[in-house]
Amino acid sequence: MLCSITSACLKGIEGYIVNVEVDIAAGMPSLTLVGLPDQEVKEAKDRVLAAIRNSGFDSPTKKITINLVPAEIKKNGTHFDLPIALGILGASGQLSDAALEKLKDFVFIGALGLTGELHASAGVLPMLIALSRQGKKRAVIAQDNLQEAAYACIDIFSAQNLRQVVDLLEGKIPFEQNREKNPEFLNIEEVYSEDFSEVKGQSLAKRALEIAAAGGHNVLMMGPPGTGKSMLAKRFATILPPLEREEMLEILQIYSVCGLLNRRKNNFQRPFRDPHHTISNIALVGGGQNPRPGEVSLAHNGVLFLDEFAEFSRTSLEVLREPLETFKVTIARAKETLTFPAKFTLIAAMNPCPCGYHGHKVKVCNCTPVQISRYKAKISGPLLDRIDLTVNLMPVNFSDWEKKSEGPTSKEIRQRVIAARQIQKERFKNTQTTANAFMSVKQIKEFCALPKDGAQVLELAMKKLGLSARSLDKILKTARTIADLEGSKDIKKEHLMEVLQYRPLDRKGVSDI
Amino acid sequence: MNFEEKLARLKVNSFSYLRSDWLSQMIEIFSSAEELLRQDAKTISKEGKIPLESAEAFLKSCAMLDAAKEMEKTEKSGGKILFNGEEDFPQRLTEIKEAPLLIYVRGDLGDVQRAAVGMVGTRKISPYGRRAASKLAGDLAQSGVVLVSGLARGIDSVVHAEAVKNQTPTWALIGTGIGRCYPAENRELARAILDTGGAIISELPFDAPPLAHHFPRRNRLIAGLSDVVVVVEGEVKSGALITAKMALDQGLDVMAVPGPIDSPTSGGPNKLIKEGAGMVLCANDIIDAIPVQKKFGLKVKKLYNESKAPSEPLTEQEQKIFDLIGEDSKSIDDLALETDLQITQLSAILFSLEVSGIIICTDGKYSRNKFN
């Protein structure tokens, strides 16, 4: 007898429908699994038969053939256990006709333990989203996946074990019983344990981060150890605007694929990823045998903080160039090409030299000029080109530290950021662009018109300060954000002058070497 | 000097561990470099009073160098080799202690007897050293003095760059062969020096690498080609001070740019001043020290009469910020703290001050532009 069950699988972070066909025929007892199953899928054989037995059903001693359609795409994941088990039960005549009929209304995703218990599996949310797009209405999943699954527009039954699923099909448990309401997205109050006002002084860096949050710009902080670079970066998340529903869904899908979603409570904050500088290239941008999203994708719609920027391996830094430019990572293989979204704000922090004290007011730097220039040269020109704001942080000495003002709280800054984002939202209506930093060249032309005296400022800066012409676009984008923060319709010359504060590396003869 | 002798001298010159006056002496003893090369190590060791191993190493190095190839490479690169004793060899260099046997020259030396000022200093330059070097070198270049330096990082590069900026010739005495550029980042500068009618000079074989003992040797050439040597910045033990000592040995005027007493990079010049070196407060102090007969043709007057360009009066706020910056350097954070102004307002004020050249910004810190 033949039985076909609908399930799904993942390709990158996109889900697609997979039909699990089970055929049972007379012959030598055996179980064959075809349709390019990966090792995890193949192991389903042993799990499923034990689970069937231990749930009080018979495991058939006949020739069982299982096919995963479409058969030409590689499948991985443990979530085929449940559909395979139900297929075997259906094909071996252990389900009633009514149950067999009902099977067709559902999709099944879940891993099985040997006792028949249902376990969570990775990537449930993107699979459900894909299924609902295909018009599927009802899904059965493991209890532990319920939280994330609730974000998909599909009715969900969450079961604890195989027996319960069969009971549902047999009509012994009503479907509605286990349905979870879609949660509310935007009414969640974010709670942070840190606040911007805790960092004393460093008003320039704080202002730069405010601009970065408002316009999605990348920031490089340079300064000796102990100047508060990491402290500031950690607090950057507290001034970011709240997540939009769409953004949230994108983040959840990526985290679902990586199996990183917290079972009990979902994280409603923007992601803040701070990988260590020994990270491998693949861990950073994604890839591997079964391609997985890397840190840049985990930081999607959030912040990627790279502390000790210059200590990252040269190749790791260079692979960052693509996502910084195109906001996605494309992993090309002979058979398939996968794309992971990676639209993040880069916050990088580095020392000015290997020993860290170059330019320090009190401590003496012991590095040779060659060492310093080599250290700075680790950050290549093309990479620097993708960083809009650069700030030099100076150490704060104690007497200053005492009197230095605390500055605005995260809440105050955040309100300004949200207001600026609102202006941008209005500006970029009906386009793909979400913030000033992501403007295309055409949009820069359209939205960043220069006032007359503004052009003069830039000309002066080029002539007198040696500003290079290639950074003009970035200056305009940043000036646009500063204008938005002020609620100004046009870019004014003051805005341009402020941007120049954040472009120290553009100036000629800036360094002491 | 015949061609064979030239080849022989190129070979003899290739062993940079021995002093050139020793070489000249040996050539005199054996009447020619060719003859010297025909000797065995024992004879050279005995006559030259050097250990046998050194003599062996010397002969080995001489044999290794393909002198004809050396000439060919030099010519191909657009350079030439000048031999001590020939007419075109700079007279200045024959007069120094340890006169070189020969020099490799790229570019144009022009009139070697022109007024020339050697400016040397540390590679680890401070913002003050940069300001001082560029101001002094710029003024000297404008007055028509040839600037002589070593094309190293730091002060040397600033000096050469000023000369290039003012389109005046400058001589770079380098510590490698002329077929190399060290440090590599100065390649552009080296090209610009040649383009503006300057010269790159070395006594080392065409491809000689930058070895530590090459640099003190070339310092004597810097002194040798200059009328005055000015030490801008340098620690008490540094190459700049070696140059100063060489200059004193050659009877030249040594001058130094004073600096803060607690700055390690000004230790050298301050010590020189204490010991009697001339103190440099402006470019005219240097020009005054150039021998009278060479001052002819220098555009000195202009410097004496130089008047400050009338600048627009500062606004009240600009003056306040300028006063706050004071003698030290301040970051925008410091200023924000002391004035209660917002970053936006401060940026605008600092921008107009910086553009008018009254203050300068280095690594995010603002300081007064002392030379404006």
Among partner residues A359, A368, A400, which is closest to B337 by beta-carbon distance? Answer: A400
CB-based contact A501 B336, cutoff 8 Å:
no
CB-based contact B357 A498, cutoff 8 Å:
no
CB-based contact B347 A501, cutoff 8 Å:
yes
Percent of chain B residues topping a pLDDT of 90: 43
What confidence score (pLDDT) does residue A303 get? 92
Mean pLDDT, range B56-73, rounded to an integer? 91
Phi, psi of A147 (to 5 degrees): -55, -50
What confidence score (pLDDT) does residue A503 get? 84
| Res B370 pLDDT > 70 | no
Compute the nearest-CA separation of A396 from chain B (Å).
9
CB-based contact A500 B153, cutoff 8 Å:
no
Distance between CA A277 and CA A308 in Å, rounded?
A: 7
Mutation target among A389, A491, A498, A511 for the B interface, most CBs of B within 10 A: A498
CB-based contact A203 B337, cutoff 8 Å:
yes
How long is chain B? 372
Contact A356, A186 (CB under 8 A): no
- A174 vs B: CB within 8 A: no
| Res A375 pLDDT > 70 | yes
What confidence score (pLDDT) does residue A181 get? 54
CB-based contact B336 A464, cutoff 8 Å:
no
- A76 vs B: CB within 8 A: no
What confidence score (pLDDT) does residue B120 get? 93
CB-based contact A201 B183, cutoff 8 Å:
no
What confidence score (pLDDT) does residue B185 get? 86
- A296 vs B: CB within 8 A: no
How long is chain A? 513
What tokens were used for A192? 């942070």
Among partner residues A400, A493, A510, which is closest to B363 by beta-carbon distance? Answer: A510
Query: Model ipTM?
Result: 0.72
- A359 vs B: CB within 8 A: yes
What confidence score (pLDDT) does residue A471 get? 81
| Res A267 pLDDT > 70 | no
CB-based contact B337 A512, cutoff 8 Å:
no
Mean pLDDT, range A369-387, rounded to an integer? 84
| Res A510 pLDDT > 50 | no
The per-residue pLDDT for range B278-287, each reduced to its tens digit, is 999 989 899 9
| Confidence tier at A86 by pLDDT (50, 70, 90) | very high
Element (H, E) at A454: helix A452-465
What confidence score (pLDDT) does residue B83 get? 93
The per-residue pLDDT for range A308-332, each reduced to its tens digit, is 999 999 899 989 999 998 899 999 9
Measured in whole angstroms, the distance separating CA A33 from the mean position of its chain's CA atoms is 34
CB-based contact B354 A465, cutoff 8 Å:
yes
What confidence score (pLDDT) does residue A162 get? 94
What confidence score (pLDDT) does residue A403 get? 65
* Closest by Cα among B256, B212, B266 to B230: B256
What pTM was computed for the model? 0.75
Task: List CB contacts (< 8 A) between B364 and chain A.
Answer: 204, 359, 391-392, 394, 504
| Res A509 pLDDT > 50 | no
Among partner residues B154, B343, B365, which is closest to A207 by beta-carbon distance? Answer: B343
- A190 vs B: CB within 8 A: no
- A406 to chain B: closest CA residue: B337
Mean pLDDT, range A481-506, rounded to an integer? 88
The per-residue pLDDT for range A495-505, each reduced to its tens digit, is 998 998 888 77
Compute the nearest-CA separation of A378 from chain B (Å).
15
Interface of A with B in 122-141 (CB under 8 A): none
Distance between CA A320 and CA A228 in Å, rounded?
A: 25
| Placement of tokens 């080029």 in the chain | A462
Which range among A142-156, A287-301, A472-486, B121-135 shows the weakest confidence by mean pLDDT? A142-156
- A359 to chain B: closest CA residue: B363
Mutation target among A199, A200, A207 for the B interface, most CBs of B within 10 A: A207
Compute the nearest-CA separation of A446 from chain B (Å).
24
- A204 to chain B: closest CA residue: B333
| Confidence tier at B266 by pLDDT (50, 70, 90) | very high
- A432 vs B: CB within 8 A: no
CB-based contact A400 B127, cutoff 8 Å:
no
Q: What is the mean pLDDT of chain A?
A: 87
Mean pLDDT, range A267-280, rounded to an integer? 86
Among partner residues B123, B332, B355, which is closest to A369 by beta-carbon distance? Answer: B123
Distance between CA A470 and CA A464 in Å, rounded?
A: 16
- A462 vs B: CB within 8 A: no
Element (H, E) at B147: strand B146-149
Residue B14 is given by DSSP the state T
SS3 B85: coil
Under 8 Å CB-to-CB from B37, ≥6 apart: which residues?
A: B8, B11, B12, B59, B62
CB-based contact A359 B365, cutoff 8 Å:
yes
Mutation target among B124, B328, B334, B343 for the A interface, most CBs of A within 10 A: B343
Among partner residues A369, A498, A504, which is closest to B344 by beta-carbon distance? Answer: A498
Would you put residue A416 in left (φ > 0), alpha (ψ -120 to 50) or beta?
Answer: alpha
Percent of chain A residues topping a pLDDT of 70: 92
The per-residue pLDDT for range B316-352, each reduced to its tens digit, is 888 888 888 887 788 888 888 888 888 888 888 888 8
Under 8 Å CB-to-CB from B4, ≥6 apart: which residues?
A: B34
| Res B205 pLDDT > 90 | yes
What confidence score (pLDDT) does residue A262 get? 61
Mutation target among B135, B153, B331 for the A interface, most CBs of A within 10 A: B331
Distance between CA A318 and CA A306 in Å, rounded?
A: 13
Compute the nearest-CA separation of A345 from chain B (Å).
22
Among partner residues B347, B354, B364, which is closest to A392 by beta-carbon distance? Answer: B364
- B335 to chain A: closest CA residue: A203
Mean pLDDT, range A425-449, rounded to an integer? 89
| Confidence tier at B21 by pLDDT (50, 70, 90) | confident
Mean pLDDT, range B173-201, rounded to an integer? 92
Burial A469-481 (b: 16+ CB within 10 A, else e): eebbbbbbbbbbb
What confidence score (pLDDT) does residue B371 get? 59
Mean pLDDT, range A124-131, rounded to an integer? 92
CB-based contact B343 A482, cutoff 8 Å:
no
What confidence score (pLDDT) does residue A507 get? 64
Interface of A with B in 370-409 (CB under 8 A): 370, 373, 391-392, 394, 400, 403-405
| Res A512 pLDDT > 50 | no
Task: List CB contacts (< 8 A) between A220 and chain B.
Answer: none
What confidence score (pLDDT) does residue B333 get? 84
What confidence score (pLDDT) does residue A183 get? 55
Distance between CA B266 and CA B124 in Å, rounded?
A: 11
Interface of B with A (CB under 8 A): 123-127, 130, 153-154, 183, 185, 331-334, 336-337, 343-345, 347-348, 350-351, 354-355, 357, 361-365
Measured in whole angstroms, the distance separating CA B365 from the mean position of its chain's CA atoms is 29
Q: Which residue has the higher pLDDT, B170 or B311?
A: B170
What confidence score (pLDDT) does residue A60 get? 92
- A485 to chain B: closest CA residue: B344
